[in-house]
Amino acid sequence: MRTKIETNNVHLHYGDFHALKGINMQIPERTVTALIGPSGCGKSSYLRLFNRMNDLIDGVRIDGKILIDNTDIYAIPQSEVDRLRRKVGMVFQKPNPFPKTIFENVAYGLRVNGLKDKKLIEGQVEKALRQAALWEEVKDKLKKSAFELSGGQQQRLCIARAMAIEPSILLMDEPASALDPISTGKIEELIYELKSNFTIIIVTHNMQQASRVSDYTGFFLLGELIEFDETKKIFRNPEKQQTENYITGRFG
């Protein structure tokens, strides 16, 4: 299986704080990778490396190599970072629709990237909403405010917005933690379906969710990657005692 993302001996500092310590990981293309571990262990910091969101924080220092499609993304000039972010979509913990219509939320990235053809935009919006399993629910109210949607629908709208510009990677930072169980189930089904077209990395505190939706799991603790393997192995027969302790609820 082709490697989509690779990190080699990655260290991340926020000022004097050593947030990530020598992380090595290879993430295969078109799979779902779950990042698990207690709060403050470095999962979200690691996730944000892949679209260079940590660049926006003062005092950040990053060492090591982070490769996407064999390109070192920290060696590209600042002028190319927007292009990188088109390739790497991001979905946050809480739904964050823009104060616009449902249609304009999804069309936003297309317009920002210079697409002006009305028919093309309409086609891409419909495609993204279908991919996000939302089209049938909103096709008759595209001109209504995104804030009229339920929390679960808003999160799927944000996923559609991320997909509209056709990235190859989707980053999801606890995308279902603010949702009810039914909406969470829909997001999980969606993640499972999307991996045929996207490489997905999800940060989650929910062990059951990680075991249900992911192909690979990485367990982080105090800024270190303790173990990374196929999800079945991590949950059934982990190599490290720390991993077993966390998964079985003995700590964390």
Could you tell me if residue 79 is left (phi over 0), alpha (psi between -120 and 50 degrees) or otherwise beta?
A: alpha
Strands 216-221 and 32-36: parallel
Q: Compute the residue count for the chain.
A: 252
Name the residue with tokens 């001109």.
Answer: 143
Does the global pTM surpass 0.75? yes
Q: Name the β-bridge partners of 145.
A: 101
Q: Name the β-bridge partners of 199.
A: 169
pLDDT at position 78, please?
Answer: 86
Strands 169-173 and 88-91: parallel
Instruction: State the DSSP string of the chain.
Output: --EEEEEEEEEEEETTEEEEEEEEEEEETT-EEEEE-STTSSHHHHHHHTTTGGGGSTTEEEEEEEEETTEETTSS-GGGHHHHHHHEEEE-SS----SSBHHHHHHHHHHHTT---HHHHHHHHHHHHHHTT-HHHHTT-TTSBGGGS-HHHHHHHHHHHHHHT--SEEEEESTTTTS-HHHHHHHHHHHHHHTTT-EEEEE-S-HHHHHHH-SEEEEEETTEEEEEEEHHHHHHS-SSHHHHHHHTTS--
Residues in the chain where the model's pLDDT stays below 70: 251-252
Joined together, the tokens standing for residue 69 give 């499609």
Backbone torsions φ then ψ of 192, nearest 5 degrees: -60, -40
What domains appear along the chain, each with residue ranges and CATH number?
A: 3-247 (3.40.50.300)
pLDDT at position 252, please?
Answer: 53
